[in-house]
Structure 1
Amino acid sequence: MEMTIIMNRFLYIPVLFFCCLLSSCAQERIIDQIRIIQAIGLDIEGENIKISASYPSYKSASQKSLLTAESKSINENFTIITTESSQPVEIGQMRTLVLSEQYARKGISEIADIINQESLKSGNATIVISKQTASSIISETFKKPPYFLSELIEQNMHNGNTPKTNYHSFVNQYYGEGQDVYLPAIKKDKGLLHMVGIGVFKEDKLKLWLTNKEGLYIKLLKEKALTGTYEFTTGQKEKYSIIILSGKRKIAMQNEKAAISLKLTVQLREFPTKINILQKEVIFGIKKKIEGKLASEIEAMLVQLQKNNVDTIGFGEQFRKQNRHYNQNEFDEKIYPKMVFDVNAEVIILHSGVGH
């Protein structure tokens, strides 16, 4: 009896191994038979919308292929891609959506509706905008490892000056009251892809571009994790560079005034070689320069947004929370244009692990 049980146990081992092997082979065949879209680009071609969709080739780990279509609508393009493909097309795992400037200026209402209806189900996928064609950005990724584009964007959001955005934040900004859409901008230059600021929208159309430094200011005023890199040059052409490690932010609104306070912990990365940062008075002087420069530049950006009648920070949303009878048009036309911004920045400089 005991011998029989032992024999049966040994018989289970090859059976289980064989089942796992079959399951693995079946899964491999399924993946090989599906075109899993990694990135999609939207351009304007004449009167049509052009879609470019990249997917990996499982015959080669580094090889990618491209599906393209042109029609009057995005959904029609999805249909064309499906009908012209010899294999099923899966867009549910898409990681990146690239919009060209031309497409963004014409209007993004259709893609916003598609995302809101969860036709594109990748909730954490990122949307970026480019002054170049979206197809050229997508094609450039063919020379890079799989998911290079999405990883480049995510790395800059976590460690750089690019504000964090995804499908969820896009839908909230587009359909919510009291705030306008902004999207990270990407550029191709001499075979390199890099983030170059943000594009700001009014309703469904691109309104203006902000620089990479101004993207940092948006990040400092919008996100929970206050991180990034800040650089500036003084009137004496002294260059400073700091790494923002952490911080706190408070925005208080009263009538037509927004008081913004930032408290940032930073580390010096670059400074003039002639100064001695071991001296407390020198550190204090650098601290005041950073605080004054940062506050004045953030105020200038807020005024620029105000003049263009775009509210990326969400002052309207905060005003709505404080006023039961909030009206979006009234805020845009009567309150926001008259708002005064008071920005106060305080920095704590860490040097060799010591706070000053």
Structure 2
Amino acid sequence: MYRFVFSQVLSRLDPEDAHHMAVRALRVLSVTPVVRRLVHRRLAPRDPALRVQAFGVHFSGPFGLAAGFDKDAGCVEAVSALGFGHVEVGTITAHAQPGNARPRMFRLVRNRAIINRMGFNNAGASAAARSLARPRGVPAIVGVNIGKTKVVPESGAVADYVASARELAPLADYLVVNVSSPNTPGLRDLQAVELLGPLLRAVKEVADATPKRTPLLVKIAPDLADADVDAVADLALDLGLDGIIATNTTIGRQALAEAEPAGRDHGHESGGLSGRPLKARSLEVLRRLRARVGDRLVLVSVGGVEDVDDVWERLLAGATLVQGYSALIYEGPLWAYRVNRDLSRRLRRHGVVDLRQIIGRTASRSTAT
């Protein structure tokens, strides 16, 4: 049914307008207690075999929604009710900002992909904090993804991230430093370890000082050279971070099939590419990280995740948690429920009663040396 609606209606709408419609609908669900609870009871993961613990947090399932959908933490409860084991909100900046000029989001249906150059459009850390502070009617694990305000120069980046962390870390189940979006000028330069180290130390000091010590992760780009992936992994270990999220969107276009009709007329050349074309590189980076750090860090895999086969493969390769986003646009609101259902069936078929039994089963420590 959803695929028919998508092909006949949603695909004819501007992608960002369709996104806003979906977020508004979910916000209504978030503030409608009876319906929200019913949806949660029907769609949320309940199989004990799906439960997993990461950085001291208990997740009802390993599959979550990546940052980028709920930018202002406005529909956390509704998204959780749909079956996502966690929701990562943001990217949130210290100061409100409109993002880049529209159009800034494009569907590549043939490639099952999205290109965006949103530019961290959000209402700012204080607004997100107010949303996150509201009582929740259904269980929800919420990660908060923070980034640099566009107008802040590189010299002020540390203070800018720290300002966001002070507002949001006490309200987050985990905190993510995003230095890997291609849509904020100069942001990816912060992935260089000589700049990333001081930034992560400063944010970690804030996260460590929260009442429950908020776990801290860093999100990296798929376009890093292998040596730089290793360097970030080593830095994360040295600093005592809790994990790495791999990967963000890519500026590469090598994995794209023939361009969509009229694609170039809409400016598809620039922006971050997500979805199916990112699958191979995201998995490659995950395997490299696992080979480098073993189980000393929690690895969260995102990029090109479409179905239970992808989730299964990422878990075997060493991810404790797996995220998706782009496929939600193509699969619809029952996507997470279907992934969880199929994963439960596969675990039972393999006689697995605890997800820890399969995490990293196919991982090798010989990839990165």
TM-score bracket for the superposition, by shorter chain length:
under 0.3
By relative contact order (CA 8 Å, sep 6+), the higher-ranking structure is 2
Compute the TM-score of the two structures, normalised by the length of structure 1: 0.25
From the two aligned structures, give the one with the greater strand fraction. 1
TM-score with structure 2 length normalisation?
Answer: 0.24
Greater Rg over alpha carbons, structure: 1
